[in-house]
Structure 1
Amino acid sequence: MRTFNNAIVYLSCIFIALIYGCDYESYDGPLTLDIQLTCAEASDLANTAFDNFSNSNSSNLEENCLAYKAALEEQLVACPEAFDQISEQINDLNNCEYDSFFQVDFDNETFLSIDAEAHIGNGQLTITGKRENEEFVIILYETTEGTYQLGTTDADGNMNTASYFPDSASNESWVSVNDGNEIMGEITVSEINYTNLSISGTFNFTGVNNNETKSFTNGVFINIPLTKDNEFFALFDGQEYIDSSIAGFLINNETTVVIIIFSEIDNTNMDFTLDVNTTPGTYSLRLIPELPRAGFTANRDFYYYADGTLTITAHNPEAKFIMGTFEFIAELEIATPQSYTITEGHFCINYGQ
């Protein structure tokens, strides 16, 4: 027994010597133990991280996505019985290597799509979110930022709608339409970014299917890729210029953009020429060698040079999309008449396609 006690004293002395030796630095911080979370605790953390992810904006989307992914990975360890489901959620995040998403809650679950897109054409905005065979489609007869009602008919007979298709290959759907007079939801288009060609907003609606209803809440779409049809408008000596075709293309080894708007009514056309690297801003249109330039062809014999301004409001050379406004006087002294006045002009053009 004495031998055992001596051994304890000896070991204690060694321990004290190690603690107070010259090379030892005391630890002032808290003692951290590696304690595994319970499944309930890990699930709560994942839900909180998901709420943050759901409320993301363009500035914190990636950060919140990575935090949500880390929380799911902790949940995966704590809840092995839900391994397949949680693994699928992690895979759906695509390593957070994206900057847009579309999601909405229904049936106590969340639909999250990283395969979403939007398109503006024919006075209509269409937003689509897809996940495997499931699909959401929102159709608005509005193409600007704002808040709009779903399910009611406007003065022109148009109705904004939101629809959910559980299987896009079937005819089953939940649509925000009741009798055409009842508001069945709302969508807010918070941002249309023509420079980055993206759109963001929120929505909610009640879907109807064979007299049954389903609520779709907390809908959000952030930085959804946006495309837009060609569009042109101008007043020509006070009258609307009726275009028949719009063409945009690249010349000079793709360093120069040329836009031509042709009218079959009077066999005339307008044209714009600018450098492919032209940035948003206001530019003078003059009869000078520098770009940008513009002009008006009255017939095959007379070309009128533009004297006025061109304002580029958005230009995405990578997507080959340009948007702007303009006004100018098209002048040619040797012709009759000597000038034409072009006002209230604006265009959105996809070139080089």
Structure 2
Amino acid sequence: MKNKLLIGLFAFFSVLNFTACDTEPIDPNIIVPDPVDPVEDGTFTAKIDGVQYTALTAEAFISGGAITIAAVRANGDNFAFVIGGNTAGTYAANQNILMFTQGQSESGWQSINPANPGENTGSVTISEVNTTNHTITGTFHFTGYWNGDGTIEPKEFTEGEFTVPYSDPSVNPNENTFTATIDGSPFNPTTINAQEASNGGISIISITALDQNGTMSVMLSSDVTVGNHPIATGTVITDDVQVMYLTVGGSGGPAVSGNVNITQKTADHVKGTFTATIETASGNIQVTQGNFDVTY
């Protein structure tokens, strides 16, 4: 299935972060006015410090007992939520992931106060998971704290409302395969999701796999061709490929070297192998014997 927005949160952040050639400094006092474009998929609105935000595209994904919601407007400003449940109810903001990122920034405002993680920062309420229409409806409000370098004031996100379509791989299981070895141990995911996403005029195929220890993503330019593609610059925009890995504890990131070898590719299917070296504060993560065969 081809979607306009990445559903897996990890993949969603990856596309947003790597579509920019340069990361521009953020003026925290500026909120770019809403575009006039109509919402194409779902509805998602909120106020950011009192200024209206209306998403151009918003979608959701249910997997492993969690709901992921992603919303983006034309200038790239985006919300990304990971909610630790898949039923109607109210979920504390500081016990889940609610995040807002402006345009091309790699950092943003999160629903956890790093100086006081126990602070009640707000909530998100899922009022309905409609299994007939495959939509999720809810509301939210939270105080967001800057998670990047420097000191930037918190933002207030209020009057949040959404009704977004969702996909659930357990409803229509496929025959996608994805395996790898991480530092000599097998990575055997329980969930594999392949999507084609467009953002800012750039189209990317994202293959995301999750196991109990973390999330791995192989990113491919939609124009990538059969053959071997080295990971050299750290961006899918210039290399046509990228591999990322993030542990459940938050360690990891994009590969600094490696390669992706595309062995088969059609309009909706891609197969290949990969290796990657990922730098972390505690040392490198070596990904070897990577294989994928997916329909997107």
TM-score (norm 1): 0.36
Structure with max Cα Rg: 1
More contact order relative to length (CA 8 Å, sep ≥ 6): 2
Q: Which has the higher strand share?
A: 2
TM-score (norm 2): 0.42
Q: Which has the higher helix share?
A: 1
